[in-house]
Amino acid sequence: MARVGIVGLGYVGLPLAVAFAQEGCEVVAVDLDARRVQAVRAGDSYVEDVPSAQLIQVRERLHASTRYAGLAEADAVLVCVPTPLTRNREPDLGPLMEAARALAKVLRAGQLVVLESTTYPGTTRERMAPILEESGLAAGRDFHLAYSPERVDPGRTDFTLGNTPKVVGGLTDACADRAEALYRLVCERVVRVSSPEAAELCKLLENIFRSVNIALVNELAMLTDRMGIDIWEVVDAAASKPYGFMRFEPGPGMGGHCMPVDPFYLSWRAREFDMTTEFIELAGKVNQQMPYHCVSKVQRTLNDEGLPVRGARIAVLGVSYKPGVGDVRESPALKIMGLLREEGAELAYHDPHVPEVPELGLRSAPLEEALHDADLALIVTAHPTVDHALAAERARVVVDLRGVTRGTQARNAVRL
């Protein structure tokens, strides 16, 4: 049974560590964040998809540490560190380069290294391999190197690591063979491609596909708002076509660690090849506009009630970037709340997954309390456990950015 090393114990790394440990592998898991390491050791999960009970079950085989030394014992090391953008919206490979440098110091012959972080085509071969080779070992000869994108969709239960096909591209055929054999322990199906570059681009294609299609339906939502047509009704009707159409929902914009970030890894790389990736830029532009459109919808709705934004009591329901999770990274809710506060709105919020939003100095209030005396309830992210009907009952008016008031009695609801 393989001994598996994981670098980066976040949304991607922690579920992987648990999956391998559940299969009976000894897992060495490294994170620079001592609090996370401590939490894993204590069996106290901070990732929704990993119940604490699961961590406790695999405690004997899951060895978390802030030090890389233990990785020398692993047969395979999977790297799952963040790949954010810099302030100038360019790829920030800092965490990845740092992880590669630390790994190079403990790398030994015969190991397999797989990069899982989302990144532009060429990263594994051109950026990671040379740093790992500072160990004196040659990639593809002395150690194996591959790229395999993580496809986890936090909060999702129908498709998980086990039943979502895993794409793998190796530096050599032998690298891909090793990686395929490893992932077969935890995944039902492995899809091989001929190179790390093809696997890197595959992940970006998937995310860009979503970003572009969400932008398309969001642009139509802005148009239908002016035309007085219900965008949800249009999407429902189009989705009745059994072929050639795929449903995407309009919403307040894109959030999370992936969608607002990953496509720009490719547009940056494309510039080296004298290409401007127009679809990526346009989709980013449209999706970034959505929070402003939503704020204007709130302004107009309050205006119809004879109220200015200044002094209006607005209860925001759902501030994480998607239902069922507590991740607020790049969440459009934060942008919308910031804009409304600049205009003088008095904000309260309810989100069972997000206890506080320090940048706005707010804590989640119980639903009834958040809605108490609210002039307007704003549904930004519709968590399935939240009673949105109560919002329609208690608030003077509801602005629904997710279409959850459709088909209800709520006469005071205004939708995106």
Ligand X SMILES: NC(=O)c1ccc[n+]([C@@H]2O[C@H](COP(=O)([O-])OP(=O)(O)OC[C@H]3O[C@@H](n4cnc5c(N)ncnc54)[C@H](O)[C@@H]3O)[C@@H](O)[C@H]2O)c1
Q: What x/- string results for residues 130 through 169 when contact with ligand X is judged by CB under 6 A?
A: --------------------x-x-x---------------
Instruction: From the candidates 80, 175, 258, 294, give the one annotated as an active-site residue.
Output: 258
Q: How far is the CB of 144 from ligand X (least distance, A)?
A: 20
With contacts defined by CB under 6 A, name the span among 113-121, 221-229, 303-311, 352-360 that binds ligand X: 113-121
> Which of 119, 30, 11, 25 has the alpha carbon at shortest distance from 68?
30
**Considering beta carbons, is residue 99 or 187 the nearer one to ligand X?**
99
- Which is nearer to ligand X, 98 or 304 (by Cβ)? 98
Q: Which residue, 97 or 234, is less far from ligand X as judged by CB?
A: 97
Cα separation, 141 vs 292, in Å, equals: 53
Query: Which stretch, 110-118, 305-313, 378-386, 391-399, contacts ligand X (CB under 6 A)?
Result: 110-118
* 323 part of the interface to ligand X, by CB under 6 A: no
DSSP string, 142-210: TBEEEE------TT-SSS-TTTS-EEEEESSHHHHHHHHHHHTTT-S-EEEESSHHHHHHHHHHHHHHH
Integer Cα distance of 148 and 25 in angstroms = 19
Return the residue of 27, 64, 74, 81 that touches ligand X, per CB under 6 A: 81
Report, in Å, the least distance between residue 256 CB and ligand X.
Answer: 6
Residue 80 in contact with ligand X, rule: CB under 6 A: yes
Catalytic residue check, 25: no
In the complex with ligand X, which residue's Cβ is closer, 9 or 319? 9
Alpha helix ranges (H) inside 79-134: 94-104, 129-132
Stretch that binds ligand X, among 4-12, 52-60, 125-133, 352-360 (CB under 6 A): 4-12
Angstrom distances, CA of residue 193 to CA of 92, 247, 263, 296: 26, 28, 21, 46
Q: Which helix (H) or strand (E) holds 39?
A: helix 34-42
Interface segment toward ligand X; rule CB under 6 A; list 24-32, 53-61, 376-384, 385-393: 24-32
Is position 301 an interface residue for ligand X (rule: CB under 6 A)? no
CA-to-CA separations, 177 to 13, 57, 169, in angstroms, rounded? 22, 30, 9
Q: Work out which of 26, 31, 180, 200 binds ligand X, going by CB under 6 A.
A: 31
Q: Which is nearer to ligand X, 2 or 7 (CB)?
A: 7
Closest C-alpha to 171, from 201, 193, 149: 193
Give DSSP secondary structure letters for 271-330: HTTT---HHHHHHHHHHHHHHHHHHHHHHHHHHHTT--STT-EEEEE--SSSTT----TT
Q: Cβ(44)–Cβ(36) under 8 Å?
A: no
Tell me the number of residues near ligand X by CB under 6 A: 27
Residue from 5, 82, 260, 324 touching ligand X (CB under 6 A): that is 82
Residue 258 is a binding residue for ligand X (CB under 6 A): yes
Interface with ligand X, residue 257, by CB under 6 A: yes
Instruction: Tell me: does residue 9 bind ligand X (CB under 6 A).
Output: yes
CA distance 297 to 208: 27
CB 30 within 8 A of CB 4: no
- List residues with catalytic annotation: 258
Residues that bind ligand X (CB under 6 A): 7-13, 30-33, 36, 80-83, 95, 98-99, 116-118, 150, 152, 154, 257-258
